[in-house]
Structure 1
Amino acid sequence: MRGPDRVVVLYSHPLLGEGLGQMLAAEPGLVVTTVSLGTLDGLDEALAGEPDVVVFEEGGPIGILDVLRRSGATVIVDVDITSSTAWTLQRHELRSAPDEVLGAVREALAVRARSAIGGETGPGRPVCAAAVCATQRRARGGAGVVTGS
């Protein structure tokens, strides 16, 4: 049996980071660690445990490439306090053989095409944060996080 899913929230703005951390920690089956990018204390330790998902706030002292280099997380959710969208990035293992790179590109395009046809969200598609919050409130019967517009 698989244990709880590990989520690491890396943030620059405490209101955003701690708020996301509290919201995610309330979900059953998630173990959440929050790390301030202002000090970077605990960053390597949090990422060393191979988290399942990293939520990363843009605009801090490290970039998303630094996170990719330090973490083996399969999924990275890239958020920005100045925008109402988030990007979901999935790590694809690429090798140097041209046919393997071509295969990875084709696979990514197939996922994109399926997402566009079905109207679902997926890797690399923008997700409106307000729509996510509204969906969560409906799932909780109207209770949940109150957000501004």
Structure 2
Amino acid sequence: MAAPVRLLIADDHPVVRDGLSGMFAADPGFEVVGEAADGAEAVRRAEALRPDVILLDLRMPGMDGVTAITELARRHIESRVLVLTTYDTDGYVLPAIEAGATGYLLKDAPREELLRAVRAAAAGRSVLAPSVASRLMHRVRTPAAEPLSRREIEVLELVAAGTTNRELAARLFISEATVKSHLLNIYTKLGVNDRAAAVAEAFRRGLLTITPDDPP
């Protein structure tokens, strides 16, 4: 009989960790060797335990998941990293994969799919949630749009916070005419026609993300 897949579970929610640990512990094909509540603890425990697979959330306090993946690679820890998160926007998916994640699944994945994914990750095979695979395929097939400038992102962040054009001008020490010019450029680059659509599209593309202090 093959040795069980040794698994480290990293998530900042104890209920999630308990649920995942119980699910994998009930299957003889897996051995949960440890848990971590944030990225820094995940790196320390991975270095000590050398699990086959690290099941890793992305949004955690302190060191986030992408930073943890980068640090694991820097320390030459060869454990496979399978991201398990709620978010499938470009702003989360691409950095995680570029940092070295073997796979990317969403937390609504069925139990059997998750078990198969961890086995596949342990074997070195890439695993992607269907929505993530579709997003990456679309990105490959779609010519890259002109990126937003740093100032345009700054304008969008303020727009998303409900700031008016006049308030924007005062905050950024520019004229209202310049604010309108920035907004028109943003609309053109994002292919939208108004402020609300620009904010929605920016979130969809991962250009804006909800911060931990924002409401769910």
TM-score under structure 1 normalisation? 0.50
Q: Which has the larger radius of gyration?
A: 2
Higher strand share: 1
TM-score under structure 2 normalisation? 0.36
Higher helix share: 2
**More relative contact order, 1 or 2 (CA 8 Å, 6+ apart):** 1
